[in-house]
Amino acid sequence: MKLHLLDRSNLTNSSFTTKINEYPYFLKIWHYHPELELVVVLKSEGTCFIGDSVEKFGIGDVVLIGKNLPHMWLNDDGYFEQTSEQTAKAIAIHFKENYLGPKFFETPEMIHILELFKRASYGLKFLNVNKKLINSIKSMLELEGFEKTMAFLHILHALAKHTDTKKLSSQGFINSFNSSKSDTQDNVQAYIFKNFNLDISLNKAAEIAHMNPSAFSRYFKRVNKKRFLDTLPKSVLDMLVSYY
């Protein structure tokens, strides 16, 4: 599955964008962008891939994704059936970390929000978020201009003060991420994504790479500094790290 850079640079009337995404299922695109992204899942279930983390997601989940951090939201199989009447719905807010100016969040009053942005570089899931905060995010969508900007600032303040959080991606992934990898690695990664909850076969991975198993093992170890089979017992998460 090829990694895509999504261009969201066409901000004209606002320094950040707010949108409700509603589809039969979320788009299956492994992507990244220079903006941070705040996601609130309103109606949907599935598996989210953020960096090298693989997590189930569901209604009420609140996640802050750092800039240039690859991610994808993959709905459960039932969403893709032709007879399915399910829908996937989420709020997505995109913004640059300097969207209010290059030094704004470096001031003493805002430094806690800047720290939030730094923590989000790994992907940050907010646990046990109360309905009041989620409703504030929903209400912000109806605002414009100054009122919307202030409302979003209050939301960021609340998230920065929220202590029940879970860091998603690993330091290893952040250190090794590189968006420019070969087609061979892209193809093998696609196989890993498709079979992340099944047994992953060395022979099948080698076939996709158009190599025999021995050659593929040597190739994998040269590129990733570890053996293919060594990564499997740990989890698919380590596999995902290997391709960045």
Residue ranges making up the domain that contains 109: 4-172
Regarding whether 130 and 101 lie in a shared domain, the answer is yes
Supply the pLDDT for residue 133: 97
DSSP 45: -
Regarding whether 143 and 25 lie in a shared domain, the answer is yes
Last residue of a domain, one of 127, 147, 172: 172
Regarding whether 42 and 126 lie in a shared domain, the answer is yes
pLDDT tens digits, the chain, 244 residues: what are they? 567 778 766 655 678 999 999 999 998 888 889 999 999 999 999 999 998 788 999 999 999 999 999 999 999 999 999 999 999 999 999 999 999 999 999 999 999 999 999 999 999 999 999 999 999 999 999 999 999 999 999 999 999 999 999 999 888 677 666 544 555 555 666 666 566 555 667 787 777 666 777 777 776 666 555 666 654 434 444 444 444 3
Regarding whether 191 and 101 lie in a shared domain, the answer is no
Three-state secondary-structure class, residue 200: coil
Supply the pLDDT for residue 13: 64
Regarding whether 191 and 151 lie in a shared domain, the answer is no
Regarding whether 220 and 161 lie in a shared domain, the answer is no
Helices (H), the chain: 111-119, 131-140, 145-161, 171-176, 183-194, 202-208, 213-224, 228-231, 236-242
Alpha-carbon distance of 134 to 169, in angstroms, equals 24
Number of domains in the chain: 2
